A and B are shown apart, each in its own frame.
Chain A
Amino acid sequence: MTTPNTSFRRTALALTALASAGIGHLASAATIGLMAPLSGPIAVVGQDQVDGFMLAVEQLGGKLGGQAATVLKEDDQLKPEIGGQIVRKFIDKDKVDAIVGLSFSNVMMASLPRIAETGTVAIATNAGPSPVAGAGCKANVFSTAWQNDGAAEAMGKFAQDRGVKKVYLMAPNYQAGKDMLSGFKRYFKGQIVEEVYTQVNQPDYSAELAQLQAAKPDAAFVFYPGGMGVNFIKQMAQAGLMAKIPLYSVFTVDGTTLPALRDAAVGSISGAMWDAALDTPENKKFVAAFEAKYKRTPSEYAATAYDAANLLNIALGKVKPGDSKALSAAVRAAGSELKSVRGPFAFNNNNMPVQNYYAFETVKDGGRITGKLLATPLTKHVDAYHTQCAQK
């Protein structure tokens, strides 16, 4: 009979688990759950978040807030239901101190109820959907990335400031595409010649580019993240349109797409809260360290995750482990203390960033394709939704 044996083993296991949990607290360790898309066509965005976060942890000597940090990485596959499961696992089984990454807006929205219910601190490094910025804001949910409209609003303002009269808008036919175009229109007061929505993940834009050429606008504004952006920009350059129609974009020409674009992107103007070319001491240090370690230029997703790690480092240094309410307050306060790689940074009442949005031109500098700062259309910008958030 094995019953006594089994029960003995179970008791021993339970004791060991208890002991290790106790020791864990004595040694005070921080556990961070990092969730991002790490497979599929968009894996590059997730990988940059992981690499940016781990770089900061490494620079801090493997510690966050003076405590040995364990980072659990999970792949949400850009699927809301999988994201929801991962968040449950992080909270219920791994008992993480904070969740970082939270993936794209759709995945983030799906995992939000559980996060709100438990009060676990969550820091998005790639999204800031409008419901979370507005009436659905939560004390424990933060974004070190952006409120989704911000960069597009900056491009709208920039086009307005430059005296552009007629603009042609293009985006994929889904929520983020519509949000970006409405963000642009919020600050652009000139004429919208045409507003074109294309199929999501459409590979070929030749037909749409012929239409664009026929409309003869003063400028075009587009939002084509990831592979769609590579397709669009390459094809626009090949049709000889880059020189004829100034191209303004957001999340289209960045660290994830430039290696595949190179010369094709030269001359295009991007709106963003960060670029590798941004000239601040913190950013220079970050970009140099990232390039040395990973042999490539970081993207904005790496920058936001790097900031998130440094933010957690400040906040975790000030509270006792296990108190998520105190940690939420500490993260909010740490926002103003953080020396962000993007320049000015603080959290608004809705826990969305208050930050600058810049306009960068992609230029050829020697043999290297890089960004050149043209202007800062929005300074310490607050989003359009924060007044709907009940938090003070």
Chain B
Amino acid sequence: MSSTLVLAQLLNGLQYGVLLFLLAAGLTLVFGIMSFVNLAHGSLYMMGAYFAATAFQYTGSFGLAVAAAMGGALLLGLVLELAVVARLYRRDHLDHVLATFGLVLFFNELVRIVWGSQPVFLQVPDLLSGAIDIGGFSYPSYRFAIILVGLAVAVGSWMLINKTRVGMLIRAGAVNPAMVAALGVNIRLLNAMLFAVGAMLAGLAGAMAGPILSVQSGMGESVLITTLVVIVIGGIGSVTGAFYAALIVGIVDTMGRVFLPLILRQMTERSFADAAGPALASMLVYLLMAVVLAWRPQGLFPANR
């Protein structure tokens, strides 16, 4: 196993991690601060990818595609917040799950009706279509771009929450919404904005993932589950936690997929290792979550309250 191969796999894990972070940041804010379980977060990601593909189809510009995905998801998030989510804050989590699961089914069918059941086309921008050579390995430059965008969002959201007045209100609203409202802050508006920003980040994730993944109905579900694992490991409501946990999950999952079958082969028969390796690798992040939950039920980096 050469060192460049390990390096390439670390980059793969990092790239997967920052993509998960884009989703986890929004989900953890809504879950942690408004205590709202939003299963439709994956649908916002899917809608982002479809908005991007459609904008790309008409304009041919990847920049506009990303803008359409972010803007579209932001608006959609606002509409959802006002029409559905706002009515549910006071109800219990089971109602949240039911309503947002309904939304998942709704959006899956909606894209099938509007865009058809065939996966739609979204291309890597020409500028980033090449591959960068690292020690004999070609690594797609577009994936570097994903890493950079993810890191930029991480820094930006950290600044927003810890250094700005809005961030202070968000943190205060999480602890005692009644008191914040009594001080004259429109907590309703704050919640709606926060939800919409989370949706926008999901849309951005969808647009960034669109060129490397199949843009199709149901694409949000599998990634949503991993995102939920990320926010549980990181500590619900903590953006910093979501960031570190996303990187941990990304790297653990990637390394597990590559190295578990190889390790198993050293220990057992080839045919058994080939079958059990991928199966074990797919369980790895859940095992990690179980260990974290047993050791630190509040998550690795819980939000400071």
Chain A residues proximal to chain B, CB less than 8 Å: 39-41, 43-44, 47, 173, 195-199, 201, 203-204, 206-208, 210-211, 213-214, 226-231, 234-235, 238-241, 256-257, 259-262, 296
Contact = CB atoms under 8 A, between A and B. Distances in A.
B218 interface: yes
A259 B258 contact: no
Given A173-B278, A230-B214, A240 B121 contact: no
Contact of A206 (B16, B120, B275): B16
B15 interface: yes
Interface stretch (B5-13, B95-103, B232-240): B5-13
Given A43-B217, A196-B261, A210-B137, A238 B124 contact: yes
B279 A204 contact: no
A43 B213 contact: no
Contact of B282 (A199, A208, A261): A199
Nearest to A206: B12
B278 A207 contact: no
B112 A43 contact: yes
B278 A227 contact: no
Interface in B212-254: 212-219, 222-223, 254
Interface in B6-57: 8-9, 12-13, 15-16
Nearest to A257: B119
Contact of B257 (A47, A207, A231): A207
Interface stretch (B138-146, B160-168, B191-199): B138-146
Given A39-B109, A198-B278, A211-B258, A204 B118 contact: no
Contact of A201 (B13, B137, B139, B222): B222
Contacts of B281: 199
Nearest to B4: A214
A44 B118 contact: yes
Nearest to A210: B8
Given A173-B275, A260-B119, A260-B121, A227 B131 contact: no
Interface in B112-135: 112, 116-121, 123-124, 129-131
6 contacts: A47-B117, A206-B15, A206-B16, A210-B8, A230-B214, A259-B118
B12 A214 contact: no
B140 A240 contact: yes
B277 interface: yes
Contacts of B223: 203
Given A227-B219, A240-B130, A257-B119, A204 B214 contact: no
A41 B218 contact: yes
Contacts of A41: 216-219
Nearest to A259: B118
Contacts of A197: 261, 274-275, 277-278
Interface of B: 2, 5, 8-9, 12-13, 15-16, 108-109, 112, 116-121, 123-124, 129-131, 137-140, 142-143, 211-219, 222-223, 254-255, 257-258, 261, 274-275, 277-279, 281-282
Given A173-B279, A210-B12, A240-B138, A43 B222 contact: no
Given A44-B118, A227-B219, A260-B215, A207 B12 contact: yes
A25 B214 CA distance: 48
Nearest to B8: A210
A88 to B, nearest CB: 26
Please give me the 8 A-B residue pairs with the lowest Cβ-Cβ distance, nearest first. Answer: A230-B214, A227-B214, A260-B119, A240-B131, A43-B117, A206-B12, A44-B117, A238-B140
Contacts of A239: 131, 138-140
Contacts of B277: 197
B274 A238 contact: no
B138 A198 contact: no
A1 to B, nearest CB: 45
A213 B118 contact: no
Given A203-B222, A210-B258, 7 more contacts: A39-B109, A44-B117, A203-B219, A207-B9, A207-B258, A214-B137, A228-B214
Nearest to A201: B222
A296 B118 CA distance: 10
A286 to B, nearest CB: 19
Contacts of B12: 204, 206-207, 210
Contacts of A260: 118-121, 214-216
Contacts of B121: 259-262
A43 B216 CA distance: 10
Nearest to A203: B213
Nearest to A44: B117
A210 B254 CA distance: 11
Contacts of A240: 130-131, 138, 140
Nearest to A233: B214
A181 to B, nearest CB: 10
Given A43-B117, A197-B274, A210-B137, A234 B131 contact: no
